[in-house]
Structure 1
Amino acid sequence: MHQSTSTVSPYVPIKSSSNSSKKRNTRSVTLLPPTIINTINKKTQKKFILEFSIHLASSRFARELKSVFPQVEYIERCLVVPTFLKCTHDLVGIGAAIDNEKDEKLEDFVGWGKEICQKLRDRGYWADLTDPCSGYPIFSERGPSIYPDVQGAVELLKYDLHNAGCCHILLHPKWGSKVYPGTLFTTASDLELKQVISETIVSESES
């Protein structure tokens, strides 16, 4: 990724939302509880099921995000959107079928996430997603830290975490370990974010 020589990221918002007040948030706040939607990969035209929720980051969480997105202003107003794509296989296992599904879900999440972020950026807000494989931002300049999807989701949603040797396995309350996690971030308001996400929903009968 090319390093910008400017002191201002091109993805710093033109306008800011009112996600936070002057009072610092000592705890992250859930603005929308886990919600399941049907959406579609516009490249492959395959539908997939996704759960997302919206959270206003606490001041401590926001400070940690600053090391992931160092050039982003208004990071204290950042909304965090943990997502889980429902899978057929238990992704903790190994094998060709599991590897193929991981690749498919990565493509599904990145395609969906880029669409959401582009719509929000078109409205003048900063928005980004992190690569689930590397933890680095897709659009913004990299910082010294990566974003851990699993640990972030556990902190925001209090989902169970199972320790299996050197691995930490998140257990989704509905889907167990048959999930693929990813995360979006934006300084847009939760109302605008929900509106943009609603535009990606497809019905069961829609192809």
Structure 2
Amino acid sequence: SLPTKNNEEFLSKLKNNKNLEIRTYGCTPSIRSEFHELFLNYNVSSQPLTAITILFKTKTDMSTWSTAVDNERNQLIEQFTKLAHELCTYLGTKQYWADFIDPSNGKPYYGPPTSDVLFETDERYQHFGINTIDLGCCRIIQHLQHGTHVFLGCIFTSAPKTDSNIQKLLKEFDISAC
């Protein structure tokens, strides 16, 4: 089964969360080449790469800063990290490589240190349906339905998006592939 016993309740709450959106994107060779310096322990140039975006609709507007925004963001970083760890563990048991981007520093969570980063406002996320807006002083992300009330996390894996294990994962969360 997908969840480990100690996180079953946590995952159950997320599965019924209407503010959670998970999508998968197969990466073409040209897209994969943009990530070769990010994942030093996986050859993205010659092996499959699937991005799994995890979006949370937020209560607060993430284009501004306040204590409420900071608190909500910290809670979502914790939730995403738990979820990403569970999904990467699940994919690992199916013999796939998987890593996720730590939202607090933009670096692969499991991978070796790298100078490349992938913050949520990175233009490479446009390949995965995420719009970035340059406000001059900073960049923000914008979701089609939720506007700037959104938090983004991302997992990368060698599992093709059509693989039965990915489909099972999507079914667990009642979501379809893009």
TM-score (norm 2): 0.79
Tell whether the 8 Å contact from 2:33 to 2:44 is kept in structure 1 after alignment: no
Q: Structure 2, unaligned stretches of length 5 or more?
A: 1-7
Identity rate, percent: 22
Tell whether the 8 Å contact from 1:69 to 1:142 is kept in structure 2 after alignment: no
* Rounded Cα–Cα distance in structure 2 between residues aligned with 1:83 and 1:152: 15
Structure number with bigger Rg: 1
Where do 1:24-39 residues align within 5 Å? Answer: none
* Rounded Cα–Cα distance in structure 1 between residues aligned with 2:149 and 2:30: 30
Q: Structure 1, unaligned stretches of length 5 or more?
A: 1-39, 202-207
Match of 1:61 in 2: 31
* Rounded Cα–Cα distance in structure 1 between residues aligned with 2:173 and 2:90: 11
Aligned length: 161
Call closer, same or farther: CA 1:144–1:74 in 2, change over 3 Å. same
Root mean square deviation, CA, Å: 2.4
Match of 1:154 in 2: 126
Greater helix content? 2
The alpha carbon displacement at 1:148 in A equals: 3.2
Q: Please say if 1:188 is aligned against 2:159.
A: yes
Query: Residues 108-137 of structure 1: CA distance to partner in whole angstroms, max 9, x if unpaired?
Result: 111111111100001111011011121111
Call closer, same or farther: CA 1:61–1:74 in 2, change over 3 Å. closer
Q: Please say if 1:100 is aligned against 2:40.
A: no
Match of 2:92 in 1: 121
Query: Residues 70-117 of structure 1: CA distance to partner in whole angstroms, max 9, x if unpaired?
Result: 121455411012221110000122221111100011111111111111
Counterpart amino acid of residue 24 in structure 2: I
* Rounded Cα–Cα distance in structure 2 between residues aligned with 1:149 and 1:171: 10
TM-score (norm 1): 0.69
